[in-house]
Amino acid sequence: MKVYERKIYKMYKIRFLEMGRLIIVVLLVGLSLPAFSQQVIKGTVMSGDDNTTLPGVTIIKKGTGSGTTTDFDGNFSIEASANETLVFSYVGYMSQEKVVGDHMNWTITLEVDVSALEEVIVTGYSQKTKSEISASVVTLNSKDIQSSVTSSNLGSMLQGKIAGMTVNSASGAPGAAPDIRIRGITSINADKPPLFVIDGMIGGNYVPTNVETVTVLKDAAAIGLYGSRGAAGVVIITTKKSKSAIPEFSLSSRMALKEATRGNFSMMDGETLYDTQEKMWGDDRIGFLKLRPQDLRDQNFDWLDAGFQKALLQNYTFSVLGQTEKLKYVFDVDYFDEEGTFRKTDYERLNLHTNIGYSGSEIFSINTDVNVQYSKSNFEHYSWFEDAYWSLPWDNPYYEDGRTIFLNGSDYDPVAYPWYGQFRRNFLHSQESNKLSSSDLNTFWSTRMVLNITNWLSVETRTRLNSFNSRTDTYYSNNSHEGVANNGEITVRQSEGYGALSTHIIRASQDFGNHHIAGFIAHEGDIYNTQNIGVDAWNLSPGIEVLSGASTKQFIEGREFTSRGISYMGELTHGFKDKFFSTVVYRIDGSSNFASDKKYAAFPAASFAWVVSKESFLQNSSFVDLLKLRISYGLVGNDGSSAFDEMNEFPFLATYNISGQYNGQPAASPLSAGNDKLGWETTTMLNLGMDMSIIRRDLFMSIDVYNKNVDDMLFNRQLAFSGGIERRWENIGSMNNKGVEIALNYQKSFGEFRYEGSFNLSYNKNEITKITDTEDEQILSVNGVQQINKVGQEAFTWYMPKWLGVNSDNGAPMWEEIVYDNSGNEVERRVTSVYSEATFQPISSALPKFSGGFTNRFSYKGLSLSVLLTYQGGNKIYHSTREFVDADGANTGINFMNLIDGWSRWEKPGDQATHPVLERGDTDGSHFTSSRYIEDGDYVRIRNITLSYNLPKAAFAWAKIRSANLSVGVDNLHTFTEFSGVDADVNMTNLSYALPGMAYNKYPISKQYIVGLNIKF
């Protein structure tokens, strides 16, 4: 019994003790409730530098992941208990911590972090502070990038933004990529665009809305580490990453209404064309009325209006960015949909991207990135575009019931519906009946792992894998102009393949007193494989649009191609007292494009910088904040990979076409001549530069002077026709580019008003210095239009008879004839009106000599206005379209262009005219190729105007939205130019169907009226 009582006593004793402890805890919690009660803290965050408010400051409750950010006016509101600590952080400023206590209204002043002012420049394989950079490098942030045109391509958005970078819009078609050149062309036949590096990995997918910074590398010291890939310059793209412990959700939408720009180019209406052709017939009134009845004068169908349309562009982006103590993550999806201003053309793209970075400790980190992009487009047949301009306004493309007329159809009645056009085709019917489309699927996966062995030694590996599938389909109905001859036609071209790139890097960095030494050595290898197949089929069953519906397989092709590259590289940098910086780089590249004894080449480069402003005589200057002098010299190479076509991937080998037959047996025929002596094209670069910042960093100026010598240029040289093979790749010729680049940036706040302006100017002079040991010129020709590359002159110089104007006595054309003696010496220059007597001679170059842009941004409180102007000039354009529509009567079956202001037609003796007498058939050849159609390519364009407003946070606080920005704008508002064509911004690439600087029926760029909304929550 006593034992039982003792157990009960012990049990209740324990329970009483537990209840006592509970009562004490409750009392303590009760007493502390006031300390833990939430209260609303409000305030404003200011900059200690200029006493202006700071939007976007991150405010975190210490030890938690919760918090908020300041609005556009620097204001914030957050719930916190009295004993909690708030952490205020902002890029470029020192963080500040503050215990809540009993303060309810705060004014927080963040001081500038001087060390953070040293902007970090990512150069791909390494990164340096801005003061350490001794090469020619330019960086743009997302604000600089987004204050430009709305486009699917980042290159178009960079036009006018970077000194030394020339961006030309060769086509305004949806999804079209621009031509990009850095410091002039790098080759004649093997020229290529700059290399794009995405988040440290060569190649890859991205979309403009997710770009954080763009860094352009321009001289040998900067691009040398990329070897042959970077011979034309390098563009480093860094995508957006999380900067705050608070997860950020953002939604960006942009819509634009597009209309085609026409420049100074316009076509005649029915009445004007009738009166013009009437003059061409002269006194043959009866003959004219027989072919051109009087009632045609009142017929005026607008083919341009029928072919073109107002179109819609849409772009939507959703992204999630966040981070924890060890993990950073990004996910975004981007959808872009663009209708073409030319009917039946469009471009659609979906991009999915995710990036995850993990830092388990200070020793190890890993980052992986996946990007999947799918795009598809519908494009136009070249003749449809021609006919939109060329078709006569007297032709009606529709039957009375609204159906489009098919001129080869059985129901077409030429009496009831006469057709006066020369080519007898109705492109509106072709657009309805045919389909031309393409699609692409690209997947990129990359990973980067870093192992920090010590505080001065690390190992890094980077891997990128990618796959692609590209397909182009064309379908020409048997009930269309294009397909009727073959009873319907369908073609399919499909390419698929994969690529892999692996880089292994060992890095070291150490300080020795006033000396800082860093560097790395690396090995890189890559492989690229592609498989192509193509089929052409005829005789389609009606309504069938697939290959199985064709009874005749006219053409079948297929091939597989694999290329490999291997590289070894290293970089050594040295800094002394933070004012002397030097860098040496060395790279060895191997390419499968060349024979074994030419496969490898070495490319060294070096640079040096002196930060003069850190010398004692300038260190305390109140005017000069930064003065840095730079010099670099080095060598880069080009293996011509982008130039070698699919029939000649290995130009050092002779190739054969093995698809033929002889006596019923397989047979081979020569296809290309091999050249086992073919080797690397090399470019030697010298750069002198100066960077200067004055007036408390308000004004920044950068000046660069460069000289580039290209030797052993890769030429696709013409061979003797008797050999049976037309061309062979050879190392011949040398070329020089020299120029000056100036960039100015100014920013200043005046209370709540702020101005930011930037201006850049680039000048480049090109010269051919050698062709071969026995030749001093090379001729390029497309459709009878020629250019010459001649020693002592610029590349791509127009080569044709020189136009001398119009004879005021009789209206005849005049050209220049050069008379030579038997020894080839020039004797006389005289005027001739006989085209065959005119002398072909160099005229002027198609290459622009100067280009640049001017950006202005004005902001007041939440309102901002930006204006971008771009310009280019010093080049000559051959307006090839005029050979057909400004032909003085040579082509009576196509429409004529209207004469622009300042032009006039000769009509009677004594007229000082720009255009010869109208003559049916133009028997004197005034429309033949000559410098008559060469025009100045100078232009200044209002590229973009955008007005944006940061909506008051109070207006949408109920929706938990952190910020919202509404914008309206216009792209390509107006172009100031004397060029008579649609656009003076023309193709600058040497193509099989067009020479650089040739303007022929360009798909026009669009004037775009834009509305955008960006929301963060």
Q: What is the pLDDT of residues 121-163, one digit of tens each?
A: 777 788 887 778 888 999 998 888 887 889 999 999 999 999 9
Whole-number pLDDT of residue 807 = 97
Nearest CA-CA partner of 697 in 620, 625, 611, 628: 625
Q: Which tokens in the block code for residue 876?
A: 């000559």
Residues ≥6 apart with Cβ < 8 Å to 738: 706, 707, 708, 764, 765
Q: Which residue reads 């960095």 in tokens?
A: 509
The predicted model gives 179-189 an average pLDDT of 91
- Residues 66-95 have pLDDT tens digits of 788 887 678 888 888 888 888 888 877 888
Whole-number pLDDT of residue 175 = 94
The better pLDDT of the pair 412, 52 is held by 412
HSE of 942, CA atoms in CB hemisphere, 13 A? 14
Whole-number pLDDT of residue 645 = 61
DSSP 8-state class, residue 733: -
pLDDT bracket for residue 39 (50, 70, 90): confident
Classify 393 in phi/psi space as left (phi over 0), alpha (psi -120 to 50) or beta: alpha
HSE of 425, CA atoms in CB hemisphere, 13 A? 20
The better pLDDT of the pair 392, 68 is held by 392
The better pLDDT of the pair 228, 22 is held by 228
- Lowest-confidence segment of 482-496, 608-622, 777-791 by average pLDDT: 608-622
Angstrom distance (rounded) from CA 796 to CA 778: 10
- Lowest-confidence segment of 107-121, 247-261, 780-794 by average pLDDT: 107-121
The predicted model gives 517-524 an average pLDDT of 95
Q: Which tokens in the block code for residue 10?
A: 């012990």
- Lowest-confidence segment of 201-210, 413-422, 590-599, 644-653 by average pLDDT: 644-653
Residues ≥6 apart with Cβ < 8 Å to 118: 129, 130, 131
The predicted model gives 251-280 an average pLDDT of 96
pLDDT bracket for residue 116 (50, 70, 90): very low
Whole-number pLDDT of residue 437 = 97
The predicted model gives 929-936 an average pLDDT of 98
pLDDT bracket for residue 12 (50, 70, 90): very low
Whole-number pLDDT of residue 2 = 42
- Lowest-confidence segment of 228-232, 520-524, 959-963 by average pLDDT: 959-963
pLDDT bracket for residue 956 (50, 70, 90): confident
- Residues 458-478 have pLDDT tens digits of 999 999 999 999 999 999 999
Angstrom distance (rounded) from CA 707 to CA 765: 10
Question: Which CB contacts under 8 angstroms, 24+ apart, belong to 948-956?
Answer: 948/863, 948/864, 948/865, 948/866, 948/1012, 949/862, 949/863, 949/864, 950/55, 950/71, 950/72, 950/861, 950/862, 950/863, 950/864, 951/862, 952/71, 952/72, 952/862, 953/71, 953/72, 953/75
Whole-number pLDDT of residue 953 = 76
Above 60 in pLDDT, residue 23?
no
Above 50 in pLDDT, residue 26?
no
Residue type, 709: N
Whole-number pLDDT of residue 3 = 41
Nearest CA-CA partner of 674 in 749, 590, 598: 598
Q: Which tokens in the block code for residue 271?
A: 């009445």
pLDDT bracket for residue 119 (50, 70, 90): low
Whole-number pLDDT of residue 5 = 42
Whole-number pLDDT of residue 352 = 97
Nearest CA-CA partner of 735 in 680, 677, 681, 785: 681
Above 50 in pLDDT, residue 920?
yes
Angstrom distance (rounded) from CA 523 to CA 568: 5
pLDDT over 70 for what percent of the chain?
Answer: 94
pLDDT bracket for residue 405 (50, 70, 90): very high
Whole-number pLDDT of residue 397 = 96
Structural element, H or E, at residue 617: helix 616-619
Angstrom distance (rounded) from CA 374 to CA 908: 62
Q: 995, 877 in Cβ contact below 8 A? A: no
Whole-number pLDDT of residue 16 = 42
Whole-number pLDDT of residue 72 = 67
Nearest CA-CA partner of 373 in 236, 438, 469, 464: 469
- Lowest-confidence segment of 656-660, 743-747, 874-878, 903-907 by average pLDDT: 656-660
Residues ≥6 apart with Cβ < 8 Å to 9: none
- Residues 838-885 have pLDDT tens digits of 999 999 999 999 999 999 999 998 899 999 999 999 999 999 999 999
pLDDT bracket for residue 672 (50, 70, 90): confident
DSSP 8-state class, residue 982: S
Above 60 in pLDDT, residue 898?
yes
Angstrom distance (rounded) from CA 405 to CA 364: 70
User: Where does 39-110 sit in CATH, by number?
Assistant: 2.60.40.1120
The predicted model gives 38-44 an average pLDDT of 86
Q: In the sheet where 803-806 sits, what is the strand order?
A: 803-806, 813-820, 826-832
Whole-angstrom CA distances from 344 to 260, 316, 480, 481, 856 are 14, 23, 16, 17, 37
The predicted model gives 632-653 an average pLDDT of 78
DSSP string, 599-614: SEEEEEEEEEEEEGGG
DSSP 8-state class, residue 966: E
pLDDT over 90 for what percent of the chain?
Answer: 64
Domain boundaries, given as residue ranges, for the chain: 39-110
Angstrom distance (rounded) from CA 307 to CA 344: 9
Mean residue pLDDT of the chain comes to 89
Whole-number pLDDT of residue 522 = 96
Length of the chain: 1017
Above 50 in pLDDT, residue 329?
yes
